[in-house]
Chains A and B, each alone.
Chain A
């Protein structure tokens, strides 16, 4: 049996971004002992990168706004593939969640009469985003972090212990959700600092791990975004949906190479910035799709009038949903009208006074000055699409955030699927985190509360041993076929408990050609190849042949990743961490590639060169990914079989009163005649 540190909590939250912290606050608020686990330091989660704002129909900037309008915009943005009940709850509850932040000390930018100011963003009919300059995510994470500290201070006053009911396990990574039969029993993970393993026994686990962007080469996402929660859910037996929908944010930095992909906030366009090609033309007027024709301006004059008078002007096409803008930029660059470094120009300098740009967009000003030697108050930025967000995720119950098929497992935020349909609107992510983070925390707490002591699940030692063996494998990387019994290929100075026994025992077939001893694989090289594969073959524009090629390469990478070896010991060893994360990235990448190959239409964050039209018959279909073969089994090495099975599932019909919020003519663009008849 593996000796590991064991803890016992009622609710474990995996991830300490917006959704995770909000879930933890709620679970602790219900009186339950709650643990939060995060890969980084507390307060560094990827949520800090969010810039533009939190979408909530508070009606401060435009009194016409209400939840129905927000709901409508969300469905339009997602091309009606959204889980409509989630979109409804989200639109209804977002304002409360934002106001609540103020009671915890958040300081948003203000309107003239002292209320929370709201800014324009792509796809939102009204100015709707609560913000703090262009660092809204930092404000959100800091407010939630400080709320957690406030709760810990209460517990200290009550019990003399800051961590009596709410503890943050910093710099820890969860590698497995543990189960007792069908039910969740806890989590297994390691401390980055020491490399020691730990188990937290808990009847309820909330996944709030964010996204998968690190599987792509050009991305706005940080190293943490390796699809951990997606993979943990799959491995625990929960399905994922909508994995074919990956959002490429239209405006990432393109130069210098080392910052390629870093986000340039949509707030630049919300505040008046325009996109131009190398001819100086505002090209977005040429890219307004049929479904949005009557809602966007057709001339520069009309578009420019909208900022001051939105009631009698139509919106500038720069503020189309992100998928549309990203495709347009891609087309301009392909047509040879790009900027010198392969993007297009984003111009705010000629649109606002320098002082105003510095006030509204201080981070962007700083970022370009420091990293690219560009003064955005004087010259245009060069921007291009960057992998930003995955719409797909754990298939959850819309009201409770409970994952399908695994009692005790919950998911919220980017790791959950459905809410955003095929494409997320800017600003809807931060509100999603708050609304569904709270719901996940609440329902996880209720689920745990309902269990009597004798009903609580137990963690079996065998599961802990298996998880430990899996995590240690990179220290004794498997030799290639035909080298049975040969010494482990990598330096095996694993150190600590249970080092040696684990790796070699992991049976299975590696795919090397017979005879020769294959050297251990460098996990960094494998990661780079994976990123290149996904970027080139399952990127912003997709083709059948390329995706088939991607599946073949993924199978090869899976085989080679079994030989990913690392040097050194377990104490803060990034090579080891990456070797473990590769399992997750390979799993989610296969989900993306398989689902994208299956969906023969273009919609939102899924564009098929060979099926360029949106097809109404696909509107009501979710593609469901499930684990077919564990990573260490033979079929996983076969490109045709792989680790994932895919099935189609019809979505529940949209409730009639929600459909009534739209004009019949608009619905005809999305729904089949059959659906309209009902």
Chain B
């Protein structure tokens, strides 16, 4: 049931680092995070790693396992051959702090740039009425556990630091879609066109729908198909629809 597994774990900090080799016990039913914890307890007490729930619900233990962005707590050891070397490295799109821990503040900065939910005027708490099929669309996006693996894998920023200022990333473009599809969000009444700002302000145009984000999502959210493409279609419709263009001109005149 148990065997000695071969792990290569990146150790270092902002100054630099390297892959270190470890021979470590692996038991039946374990996940990569269990083995990392065993390394901490027995061979490398100061090995830095983020984790919380260990059940795929909090999105803390994101890293790259054999080059693929994954949650360590949801990566079963049984997917690897016993003689296979398992290489664990920090997420590549974010600056390393130490070992497997990266500086993910980019994501928190982007979160602040997305205008928040606008409650519908005239509805008191308790008076909200929404149909399940309508909330279901946004609920899919609210399953997001903010592991930031989609942000990590997205080629727009993965190796292109220069794009970061102009690009919110899949997670936060999806947040815009979520609010845009919220049945009672009153942003439009305040003059905010969420889909258009996704395009104009938050870099939706950078996305060329390669679906890498969807592939790595541990919650299996259809980020590209259900959030990004519908928003692209809407903004494209609006941009190129001559009636909308005309309407925009006419109604803007008195503002």
Contact = CB atoms under 8 A, between A and B. Distances in A.
A524 B126 contact: no
Given A107-B142, A576-B46, A153 B29 contact: no
A113 interface: yes
Interface in A88-136: 95-96, 99-100, 102-105, 107-110, 113-115, 117, 132-133, 135
B138 interface: yes
A571 B98 contact: yes
B56 A524 contact: no
Contact of B45 (A222, A263, A566): A566
B89 interface: no
Contacts of B244: none
B40 interface: yes
A92 B175 CA distance: 33
Contacts of B115: 153
B104 interface: yes
Interface stretch (B47-55, B201-209, B227-235): B47-55
Contact of A95 (B51, B116, B126, B130): B126
Contacts of B31: 258, 371
Contact of A43 (B40, B101, B135, B146): B146
B125 interface: yes
Given A146-B116, A259-B54, A370-B74, A99 B139 contact: no
A68 interface: no
Interface stretch (B17-25, B57-65, B158-166, B188-196): B57-65
B215 interface: no
B155 to A, nearest CB: 24
Interface in A473-510: none
B131 interface: yes
A114 B76 contact: no
Interface string A220-241: 0011100000000000000000
Interface string B125-157: 110111110010011001111100000000000
Interface in B71-107: 74, 76, 97-99, 101, 104
Interface residues of B, number: 58
A104 to B, nearest CB: 7
A162 interface: yes
A488 to B, nearest CB: 16
- Main secondary structure on chain B at its contact with chain A? loop
A652 interface: no
A146 B117 contact: yes
B28 interface: yes
Nearest to B139: A107
B57 A49 contact: yes
A514 interface: no
Given A109-B132, A256-B29, A149 B60 contact: no
Interface string A569-609: 10111111000000000000000000000000000000000
Given A105-B182, A367-B56, A574-B49, A153 B116 contact: yes
Contacts of B98: 193, 571-572
A115 B129 contact: yes
A262 B112 contact: no
A48 interface: yes
Contact of A40 (B60, B108, B132): B60
A46 interface: yes
Given A105-B117, A257-B29, A524 B45 contact: yes
A549 interface: no
Interface in A525-548: 525, 528
Contacts of A262: 54-55
Given A139-B142, A371-B74, A524-B41, A572 B48 contact: yes
Interface string A249-265: 00000011111001100
Contacts of B200: none
Contacts of A135: 57, 143
A574 B55 contact: no
Contacts of A147: 116
Interface string A152-164: 1100100000100
B28 A256 contact: yes
Which among A41, A149, A255 has the highest number of chain B CB atoms within 10 Å? A41
A524 B57 contact: no
B67 interface: no
Nearest to B107: A41
A363 interface: yes
B27 to A, nearest CB: 7
A142 interface: yes
Contacts of A259: 29, 54-55
Contacts of B74: 370-371
A114 B41 contact: no
A313 interface: no
Given A40-B60, A524-B40, A46 B52 contact: yes
A222 B54 contact: yes
Interface string B34-50: 10000011100111111
Contact of A258 (B34, B132, B145): B34
A371 B76 contact: yes
Contacts of A40: 50, 52, 58, 60
A102 B185 CA distance: 11
Contacts of A270: none
A576 B45 CA distance: 8
B30 interface: yes
A257 B125 contact: no
Contacts of B108: 42, 170
Contacts of B117: 104-105, 146, 150
Contacts of B139: 107, 109, 132-133
A634 B55 CA distance: 41
A567 interface: yes
A193 B97 CA distance: 7
Nearest to B133: A110
B132 A110 contact: yes
Contacts of B185: 105
B146 to A, nearest CB: 6
A366 interface: yes
B28 to A, nearest CB: 6
Contacts of A193: 97-98, 101
B212 interface: no
B30 A114 contact: no
A568 interface: yes
A61 to B, nearest CB: 14
Contacts of A162: 112
Contacts of B99: 572
Contact of A574 (B47, B53, B126): B47
A563 to B, nearest CB: 15
Contacts of A113: 129
Contacts of A574: 40, 45-49
5 contacts: A48-B145, A102-B128, A105-B179, A137-B57, A575-B40
CB-CB nearest 3 A-B residue pairs? A256-B29, A105-B117, A568-B46
Interface of A: 40-44, 46, 48-49, 58, 95-96, 99-100, 102-105, 107-110, 113-115, 117, 132-133, 135, 137-139, 142, 146-147, 149-150, 152-153, 156, 162, 170, 193, 222-224, 255-259, 262-263, 363, 366-367, 370-372, 522-525, 528, 566-569, 571-576
Interface of B: 13, 27-31, 34, 40-42, 45-60, 74, 76, 97-99, 101, 104, 108, 111-112, 115-117, 119, 125-126, 128-132, 135, 138-139, 142-146, 179, 182, 185
